[in-house]
Amino acid sequence: MPVPDRSRMPSRLAALDERLEPLKRFEFTPARTRGGQIAQFLGLALVAAVLSSLLVLPAFLGAGATAAAGASDFNALPADLHIQQFAQNSTVYAKQGGQDVPIATFYAQNRQDVGWDQIAQTVKDATISAEDPRFYSEGAVDIWGTLRGAVSTVAGGNVQGGSSITQQYVKNVEVEKCEALTSQKKVEACYADAAGVTLQRKVQEMRYAVQVEKTYSKKQILTGYLNVVGFGGQVYGVQAASQYYFNTTAAKLDLAQAATLAAILNNPANLRIDQPDNKDNGAANGYKLTKQRRDYVLNRMYVTHTITKQQRDAAKATPITPTITPTTQGCVAAQQYNAAFFCDYVRDVILNDPAYGKTGDDRWQTLNRGGLKIYTTLNLDLQQVAQASLSKYIPGSRPGIDLGASNVSLELGTGRIVTMVENRAFNNTDTPVDGATAVNYNTDEDYGGSQGFQTGSTFKAFDLAAWLESGHSLYETVNASQHNFPTSDFTNSCANIDGPDWPVTNDEGSASRLSVMAATAQSVNTAFAEMGTKVDLCSILNAAKGLGVHLASKSEKWVETPSLILGTNYISPLTMATAYAGIANNGTVCTPIAIDRVVNPDGTDHAVSKTTCTQGMKPEIAAGVAYALQGVIKGGGTAASANPYDGTPILAKTGTTDHSLQNWLITSTTKVATATWVGNVSGSTPLRSLSFHGVGGGNVKFSIAKPILKAIDAIYGGDAFAKPTDTVLYGDQVTMPDVTGKAPDAAQKLLEGLGLAVTIDSTPVDSDQPAGTVAASDPQAGSSVSNGDTVTLTLSNGSKASGGSTPGPTPSGGTTSSPAPTNGNGNGNGGGGGGGKGNG
């Protein structure tokens, strides 16, 4: 067939002939079956319909004035494309050396939008040359390219070319909207509308494309196209593709790399270059299919005069050598900063926070598609110290015990979490790894999977608060002897606590009577159990709850029996650190936060939930509790070995549950509170039976915490704690009256009337007071005593009383060999040779 001479044709006909040239070379492959022939006929009818529709498009599509009637129908189609923000990577940052460092990335599609000036000219030229050579010179719709695509679809041909870049941009934008949907049915329906092979969809695509070109410049359209298109797998946009395939940026791509990416665009599933073992397109054959398409792109660039022959030939001679650099999805990447568990906590915070969307699906979309820059509170320098100290002593796994350990620190007054580490590596895959877990031991179940741990004696801080709130004082003395406590001795206005006696023991022996200050420093269980008989157990729980204490798992219920005094509820380390921060902050507790700031892709600030500070405890009560807890970490206190002795005032409380299954140390300065936990994740192996790097399991918490406290103090320092009032220290002071010579019951009545407790020594002593009367008191008469203090009375045996040296009556019901007096009126045991009256 002779080739027509276009130079002799009218310009419009010449242009039409040039556009029809690809179709002249197109060969239809006849269908081999009757059904196929019918399908092919219907397909060609569809093509004819497409062609017919083109004849009635507006004049700007090249149809001429005869399209006036059809134009109104075309223009009536929806024109506003509603271009949404493309899915982009969200990045989590932490501070290191005062600088923001990216530690993790979240994405549904690995995409990072870039601007026009951030894309190499070679990429722009390669894309236009291969996909739409007339992009700059013609309108929104490539009519003949669209027709070629339709013909190729129905006839099975392999003609190059298709829609314009603007049309492709429209289609990708529509598909991107589908990706953002959460319902599978909606996604499928959306795909059918956005990418289905129908005349209606194609005409609508053209309509959108026309409006896009009226609204945006060619630069904006090409930039948008290069940001939205897929390059295989989860890689979207030219920036992510440059990083993934060549470990560079879109601005630094060389010619061969740019042509390779433009080649991949033609068929990302088949032409991607991250499958080296692919027999059709892999490393062994030099990525044959991709190279063929890349060389085609280079030829097109030469034809369109964007590169020289020498540049083309040099690029074609360059082998395809990808440098695959994955952008790790999720918190695994943060493991290199020992921050994977903190990262996972940040993720859970976002997924639970309505600030990021109304529903869980909405919040997931915000995190994985929103392109957020998430600036967190974590201090990587302190994090490194904390992880190093923890890992020095506690391995990720150990035979015979399901061993866990953690450390978390947060600022007072801001709630900002500055460290969060644990002994195990992070693994959130379905494949178990020894010494690894996805459970965050520092946090609640909703924020990391842990159900918390029994807190042991660290809960005594709240016992102290209830004790002081009820009017008792720190220097009041209590019975610390070991014995069973009848449940009937306790009161809980919030719950029914009927049950058997409660046996309470101490780790070591202690004095029978102790001040509350001494009982706190030495963590004497029996003393605190005795204190619990004098307060409402409900007030202890309320003191804890006032400082934000809650159970780690919402499915659990509070232990409300007397054993709560010694820390039998399951609470997370972060919650306990937060409560102690409240104590050290004069009773003002601030909810913990992990995120300082979130920035949207357009540079605006995203709403962030701030810390909420409340007065959870009266300042004077908090001052008293803090005063007592300072004694714990001084000489003689149970936590003294953890004190860094760097001049920073510090308070602390240790906690050890039965059989040392769980071991705690919680500390606070006026700047930062820290909780360290070591124990059984599950099972019941006594830690005191183990040794860690030469340190006993019951004491290893001190060795872990000390370097961390020292590093924190070096950055934050600290001030003196508020001083407690005399009332908190000593209670309401009264002068001890002189009760010598009085009958025991009369002395007891007098002292109890002054708000004092009374005990009577069962062994009489030599005294000049009548037998059976009070010989002495401790404290002595004239001393200042506090409301609630206990006075011990010692009775006289009458040996030095005037009128004889025969021992007087005993108050306990005992008898002597002397005849019983005829007029004794005590407790029926008023003996005595002198016939005196018993006052027992």
Rounded CA-CA distance 736/730 in Å is: 14
Question: Which DSSP state fits 110?
Answer: B
**Tens digit of pLDDT for each residue in 533-567?**
999 999 999 999 999 999 999 999 999 999 999 99
pLDDT above 50 for 357: yes
Q: What is the pLDDT of residue 786?
A: 81
Q: Give the largest Cα separation in the chain, rounded.
A: 155
Rounded CA-CA distance 707/298 in Å is: 61
Higher per-residue pLDDT: 144 or 490? 490
Q: How much is the average pLDDT of 816-840? A: 33
Question: Which DSSP state fits 87?
Answer: P
Q: How much is the average pLDDT of 623-642? A: 98
Q: What is the pLDDT of residue 138?
A: 86
pLDDT above 70 for 532: yes
Higher per-residue pLDDT: 482 or 405? 405
Rounded CA-CA distance 825/820 in Å is: 11
Q: Mean pLDDT over all residues of the chain?
A: 87
Residue 138 exposed, middle or buried by CB count within 10 Å (0-12, 13-18, 19+): middle
pLDDT above 70 for 826: no
Q: What is the pLDDT of residue 44?
A: 52
Rounded CA-CA distance 540/470 in Å is: 10
SS3 796: strand
Q: How much is the average pLDDT of 205-217? A: 92
Element (H, E) at 436: strand 436-437
Specify the pTM.
Answer: 0.82
Q: What band does 77 get if pLDDT is binned at 50, 70 and 90? A: confident
Rounded CA-CA distance 394/180 in Å is: 44
Hey, what are 613's tokens? 């500070």
Q: What is the pLDDT of residue 16?
A: 43
pLDDT above 60 for 379: yes
**Start-end of H helices in 115-195:** 121-131, 143-155, 165-179, 184-195
pLDDT above 60 for 525: yes
Lowest mean pLDDT among 52-56, 321-325, 601-605, 646-650: 52-56
Q: Which amino acid is at 388?
A: A
Q: How much is the average pLDDT of 413-427? A: 98
Query: Above pLDDT 90, what percent of the chain?
Result: 73
Hey, what are 796's tokens? 């006289």
pLDDT above 80 for 813: no
Q: What band does 34 get if pLDDT is binned at 50, 70 and 90? A: low
Q: How much is the average pLDDT of 738-767? A: 92
pLDDT above 60 for 54: no
pLDDT above 90 for 789: no
Q: How much is the average pLDDT of 326-331? A: 94
**Tens digit of pLDDT for each residue in 222-232?**
999 999 999 99
In the chain the first and final C-alpha atoms are separated, in Å, by 138
Backbone φ and ψ for 328, nearest 5 degrees, come out as -60, 130
Between CA 800 and CA 806, with CA 801 as vertex, the angle to 5 degrees is 75
Q: Do the Cβ atoms of 473 and 731 come closer than 8 Å?
A: yes
**Tens digit of pLDDT for each residue in 261-314?**
999 999 999 999 999 999 999 999 999 999 999 999 999 999 999 999 999 999
Query: Above pLDDT 70, what percent of the chain?
Result: 84
Q: What is the pLDDT of residue 78?
A: 75
SS3 193: helix
Q: What band does 188 get if pLDDT is binned at 50, 70 and 90? A: confident
Of 208-212, 348-352, 495-499, highest mean pLDDT: 348-352
Q: How many Cβ atoms sit within 10 Å of the Cβ of residue 279?
A: 9
Q: Do the Cβ atoms of 568 and 454 come closer than 8 Å?
A: yes
Lowest mean pLDDT among 192-201, 369-378, 584-593: 192-201
pLDDT above 90 for 3: no
Residue 636 exposed, middle or buried by CB count within 10 Å (0-12, 13-18, 19+): exposed
Rounded CA-CA distance 262/293 in Å is: 9
Backbone φ and ψ for 691, nearest 5 degrees, come out as -130, 140
Q: What is the pLDDT of residue 733?
A: 84
Lowest mean pLDDT among 12-26, 38-52, 735-749: 12-26
pLDDT above 60 for 691: yes
Element (H, E) at 504: strand 502-504
Q: What is the pLDDT of residue 456?
A: 98
Higher per-residue pLDDT: 152 or 204? 204
**Tens digit of pLDDT for each residue in 246-268?**
999 999 999 999 999 999 999 99
Q: What is the pLDDT of residue 524?
A: 97
Backbone φ and ψ for 113, nearest 5 degrees, come out as -65, 140
pLDDT above 60 for 160: no
pLDDT above 70 for 837: no
**Tens digit of pLDDT for each residue in 111-154?**
999 999 999 999 999 999 999 999 999 888 877 666 666 565 55
Lowest mean pLDDT among 69-73, 452-456, 579-583, 771-775: 69-73
Residue 349 exposed, middle or buried by CB count within 10 Å (0-12, 13-18, 19+): buried
What domains can you pick out in the chain, each with its CATH number?
108-316 (1.10.3810.10), 732-840 (3.30.10.20)
Q: What band does 15 get if pLDDT is binned at 50, 70 and 90? A: very low
In angstroms, how far is CA 146 from the centroid of its own chain? 50
Higher per-residue pLDDT: 1 or 449? 449
**Tens digit of pLDDT for each residue in 573-594?**
999 999 999 999 999 999 999 9
**Tens digit of pLDDT for each residue in 431-481?**
999 999 999 999 999 999 899 999 999 999 999 999 999 999 999 999 999
